[in-house]
Amino acid sequence: MFKKLPDAGAATVTVLIDGKPFQAPQGCTAAAAALLAGATSTRTTAVSEAPRAPYCMMGVCFECLMEIDGAPNQQACLVPVADNMRINRQPGKAEAKP
Amino acid sequence: MSRYDTIVIGGGLVGSAIAYGLARRGLKAALLDEGDVAFRASRGNFGLVWVQSKGIGVPEYQRWSRLSSELWDDFAVELRQETGIDCAHEHRGGVTICLTEQDFAQRRQMMERLRLESGEPRFEYQMLDHDELRKLMPEIGPEVAGASYTRYDGAANPLYLLRALHAALLKRGGHYFAHSKVATLKAAPHDFTVTAGGATFSAPRLVLAAGLGNRELGAQAGLNMPVQPERGQILATERVKPVLGMLTLLVRQTAEGSVMIGESHEDVGLNDATTPDVQQALAARAVRTFPFLRDVRVVRHWAALRVMSPDGLPIYEQSQQYPGAFAATCHSGVTLAAAHALRYAGFVANGALPAELARFTGKRFDVQKAA
């Protein structure tokens, strides 16, 4: 659904989106990478488990929460991609392990 | 001029519960709410229906809190049937966790005193040592000495409760007036006239449930309500899967998954700002109690002002000077909501408070004559 602008830089990094390698433009955010990789939903909500996707892309709406490098509930639109970053869809509530 | 059976001043949990209670008895109630400029204790509440620490030396308070906790079971069902709103009421018992052996020993003494003072039906509790508590709450940290447990304790979502009370009031024919700070209050026996929000209301009954505003309003209705603000701060975490199997005084997990961390007490006047030192102290104590919280993120932090009387007890009284005017103030708007709606409103409707509430008169703060 989403295409990157033609003037975007050519350099990429490899990230793992739900375990699948993806070449993401260097400097883009985890949320942008997930959308570019074709994700239509990046989490389900904590209470009703309805599907959600990144919305405001500027850190305000908290719709883009994903599990990044093992940490749940990260605002994926605020996290720049890095090589080998693990970006996972977050299903429902996060785990808190006693 | 609008004529009502009762004017209730204060649209928070106390006033709304009483106004709903009046409306469900068929009385025409007007609920006057100051607006968001008020110090809204009911919007900052921790949401416990808490019994186990209340009423040392005052068994009337312990019994009144316990009664409300018992009434809450049916009350939550009633509100859901009336309004469709689920207040997330839970009644699974609760624990007060002690981090040191000394605290644990003191707690045992306090609980035993509550039991001995309680009268019938007897107040029952259990002291759980570390291993016994761990069976109920495997999440506790190694430092925890133990806890007191009672089955009376519970919780509800205070915001859903407030919304449900307002909705139930309207459904039963009551009227709610926002932005209606009292401008003038004229009192005569069984005849009260209030101007608020540009309108005039009159009624033979008046209930003062205006939180911190009661101090000033009470004086105009012959009621001594010397309440003071006490700041409490609360942290709320991101939503996580249910981990806490039990309510505690310090930490509880909501139905939606947030972990709330509370229990601070500060005397700072009418200041409802948050402070980093209290934030740190709350977080540190929570992590000592439940080490897994170390990795759970705090997403909100707020403060609110408890409405405290000098001895911490509620004030309930009918004005001698102006019969028909009733005081209602406490710092436990959630715990006592059921008693306020199902009992206190009935006393107001019938025009007399029972002997069991005599202990709560504001006259206890009057200076006594020596001879």
- B286/chain A closest Cα distance in angstroms: 13
ipTM above 0.85, yes or no: no
**Dist CA B16 CA B33 (whole Å):** 9
Alpha-carbon torsion, ordered B245, B66, B236, B12, to 10 deg: 150
Among the partner-chain residues B256, B291, B296, the one whose CB lies closest to the CB of A46 is: B256
In this structure, the answer to whether residues B213 and B334 fall within a common structural domain is: yes
Single pTM value for the model: 0.92
Distance from CA of B340 to the nearest CA of A (A): 31
Least CB-CB distance to B138: which of A93, A94, A98? A98
Identify the CATH number of the domain in which residue B14 sits.
3.50.50.60
Of B243, B256, B257, the CB nearest to A98: B243
A96 in any annotated domain: no
Are residues B345 and B246 located together in one domain of the fold?
Answer: no
DSSP state of A80: B
Q: Is B295 on the interface with A (CB under 8 A)?
A: yes
Contact B230, B305 (CB under 8 A): yes
CB atoms B238 and A73 under 8 Å: yes
Q: Do A47 and B295 touch (CB under 8 A)?
A: no
Distance separating alpha carbons of residues B327 and B362, to the nearest angstrom = 8
pLDDT at B371: 63
Among B85-99, B159-173, B242-256, B336-350, the range scoring the smallest mean pLDDT is: B242-256
Residue B13 lies in a domain: yes
Domain that holds residue B328: 2-49+159-227+311-364
Let me know if residue B300 belongs to a domain.
Answer: yes
- Does residue B87 fall inside a structural domain? no
Rounded distance, CA A50 to CA A66, Å? 14
How many contacts (CB atoms, under 8 Å) link A and B? Answer: 38
Look up the CATH number of the domain holding residue A23. 3.10.20.30
Give the closest residue to B229 by CA, choosing from B240, B245, B213.
Answer: B213
Check if B36 contacts A (Cβ < 8 Å): no
Is residue A1 one of the residues assigned to a domain?
no
Residue A82 lies in a domain: yes
pLDDT tens, B192-239? 999 999 999 999 999 999 999 999 999 999 999 999 999 999 999 999
**Does B246 share its domain with B303?**
yes
A25 within domain boundaries: yes
How many other C-beta atoms lie within 10 A of the C-beta of residue B274? 14
Write the pLDDT tens digit of every residue in A55-92.
999 999 999 999 999 999 999 999 999 999 999 999 99
Look at residues B322, B122, B319, B334 and name the one whose alpha carbon lies nearest to residue B247.
B334
- The count of structural domains within chain A is 1
Q: Test B292 with A96 for CB contact under 8 angstroms.
A: yes
The strand pairing partners of B6, in sequence order, are B29, B205
Are B256 and A96 in contact (CB < 8 Å)? no
pLDDT at B339 over 90: yes
Same domain, B281 and B300: yes
Q: Does residue B304 lie within any of the structural domains?
A: yes
What's the pLDDT score for residue B367?
Answer: 76
Q: Is pLDDT above 90 for B119?
A: no
Question: Mean pLDDT over residues B180-188, rounded?
Answer: 97
User: Could you list the residue range(s) of the whole structural domain that residue A34 is in?
Assistant: 13-88
